[in-house]
Amino acid sequence: MAEGRPERADAARNRRAILEATERLLTDNPPEQVSMERIAAAAGVGKGTVFHRFGSRAGLMRELMLERALSLRELVTDGPPPLGPGAAPRERLLAFLDAVVEVVGRNKGLLAALGQAATVPRDAQQDARDHHSVYGFWHGHISTLLAAERTDLDAELLAHVLLGALQSGPIVHLLGQGEGRRLALSLRLLVTGVLET
């Protein structure tokens, strides 16, 4: 799509169908069984349409993860409290951590597919932009809310620690077993303890 030109209605429908089909397939199947052919068939489009739109399987997986993360960003900036503006920093922080765990847990198949795609050569500049748009926003939001509650904390480092935990092998395994609620409760306990120390 040319920059600045609105997306055609049929192209927007195809994009939505492809992303939804990918997420459904990743929910029900191991990532290695989710091929571009299966995605195209489930979306009701040609395989060439999927490649034309996303470039590669890795590109499709990154796009899906970005979409989920950006949906969360919209809720944080414009949604109702406690996730959106209007609640106390502590309430917003706990709601945001719950939401991050939900996004990561709901998309565990996607995370595994992204991990497999890491072996595929990629555009380093695009990776940096993706990293900044997701991790950068999550980190900035968490550190801002921590600092609003406790000015004496190293909020920037603590935000890295909290987000880093979500990328660790044991945590990813836990999420793969459907233990997202357990993780969310543990993060709440951890953050509440830090804020009350």
Tokens 């920037």, residue?
156
Is 80 exceeded by the pLDDT of residue 130?
Answer: no
Looking at the fold, whether 156 and 83 belong to one and the same domain comes out as yes
Looking at the fold, whether 13 and 105 belong to one and the same domain comes out as no
Looking at the fold, whether 97 and 177 belong to one and the same domain comes out as yes
Looking at the fold, whether 118 and 180 belong to one and the same domain comes out as yes
- pTM (global) more than 0.85: no
Q: How far is 133 from 142, CA to CA, in rounded Å?
A: 14
- If one compares 141 and 163, the residue with the highest pLDDT of the two is 141
Burial annotation 3-21 (CB, 10 A radius, 16+ → b, else e): eeeeeeeeeeebbebbbeb
Looking at the fold, whether 41 and 67 belong to one and the same domain comes out as no
Domain with 15, as residue range(s), is: 1-55
Of 2-11, 22-31, 50-59, 173-182, the least confident: 2-11
Domain boundary among 9, 24, 55: 55
Number of domain units in the chain: 2
Looking at the fold, whether 106 and 176 belong to one and the same domain comes out as yes
Is 80 exceeded by the pLDDT of residue 133?
Answer: no
Q: How far is 76 from 71, CA to CA, in rounded Å?
A: 9
Looking at the fold, whether 34 and 111 belong to one and the same domain comes out as no
Looking at the fold, whether 46 and 114 belong to one and the same domain comes out as no
**For the domain that residue 187 is a member of, what is the CATH number?**
1.10.357
The per-residue DSSP string of 57-104 comes to: HHHHHHHHHHHHHHHHHHHHHHS-TTTSTTS-HHHHHHHHHHHHHHHH
Looking at the fold, whether 99 and 83 belong to one and the same domain comes out as yes
Looking at the fold, whether 124 and 162 belong to one and the same domain comes out as yes
Looking at the fold, whether 6 and 43 belong to one and the same domain comes out as yes
**For the domain that residue 5 is a member of, what is the CATH number?**
1.10.10.60
Looking at the fold, whether 109 and 129 belong to one and the same domain comes out as yes
Tens-digit pLDDT profile for residues 2-30: 455 666 888 899 999 999 999 889 878 87
